[in-house]
Amino acid sequence: MIRKEFLQPLVDDRLSTFHMKTTLLFTVERFPENIWRDDNLVQCVINCLTTLKRFLKKCYCPHYTIGSLNLFAEKLKVNEFHLVGDKVTEMIDSGLSCLRTLNMDQVRMRLSRSVAELYHHKILPGAEIHVHIITALIKKIDYSRLNQRDSRLLNSIALPFNSALTTEHEYRAELEFIFYSLCSTLASQNASECFANGSDVTSDIINMYETSLGSNNVSNHLRYASMLVCTH
């Protein structure tokens, strides 16, 4: 469907079903069996498109069983490799949002109906629920108080979050995110004040930075790294 509706208008049938099947076979070799499931279909397609993108970048699509045979030979022109490659990259980067415009087999209409039904029943995807919860929790934090250089302030602001982490709280993941973000924010603001005053970064600040690394939030790691660079 993707080939016919999005790629064929660019290069006609010179990018064929056989190219796509070959791409699938090479992709299957690179990934474990357990990812090939119906509920992981979008990611599987993205994996295949990533393989196709690599072939297009090299201007070389190997035959799956015959060595040294380039399936792109006498098919695509030099400028077309970039043209198709850019389109494939666009689809990958968008997380296959292009499927919402896919007309074949009424995919667009079926997807639109599914989304409408989802919101009609007030059922949101898991990731979106997390975002809503995190947003609500952030609104409860008085960030204006964080400009005071007092590491003990962390306890008074983050205490509800930290306490919940010791229990099987319903929103433990969200609370952890907020708690570690608070640690990182406080540590960075306090470290900045140390730099401005020409004083050393204290052990309390270092401890807050290191606590924030309990999260997989890249921002927390980058803030700590920035402080280490500034202090050589």
Per residue in 18-69, pLDDT (tens digit) is: 999 999 999 999 988 999 998 888 899 999 999 999 999 999 999 999 988 9
Mean of the per-residue pLDDT values of the chain: 82
Is 117's pLDDT higher than 70?
Answer: no
Q: Which residue did the predictor score with more confidence, 200 or 159?
A: 200
> Crossing angle, helix 172-197 and helix 126-139, to 10 degrees?
50
Q: How far apart are CA 64 and CA 23, in angstroms?
A: 9
CA pseudo-torsion sign 131, 111, 101, 37: positive
Q: How far apart are CA 220 and CA 185, in angstroms?
A: 8
Is 79's pLDDT higher than 70?
Answer: yes
Share of the chain above pLDDT 70, in %: 74
Q: Which residue did the predictor score with more confidence, 80 or 102?
A: 80
* SS3 at position 162: helix
| Residue 62 CB-density burial (10 A; 0-12 exposed, 13-18 middle, 19+ buried) | middle
pLDDT of residue 72: 95
- When pLDDT is cut at 50, 70 and 90, the band that residue 149 belongs to is very low
Q: How far apart are CA 211 and CA 215, in angstroms?
A: 8
**What number is the average pLDDT over the span 154-171?**
59
Q: Which residue did the predictor score with more confidence, 93 or 174?
A: 93
* SS3 at position 116: helix
Is 105's pLDDT higher than 60?
Answer: yes
**What number is the average pLDDT over the span 63-90?**
93
CA pseudo-torsion sign 169, 174, 180, 182: negative
| Residue 66 CB-density burial (10 A; 0-12 exposed, 13-18 middle, 19+ buried) | exposed
**What number is the average pLDDT over the span 79-85?**
94
Where b means 16+ CB within 10 Å and e means fewer, 19-45 reads bbebbbebbbeeeeeeeeeeeeeeebb
Per residue in 118-143, pLDDT (tens digit) is: 455 555 556 666 666 666 666 655 55
Is 160's pLDDT higher than 80?
Answer: no
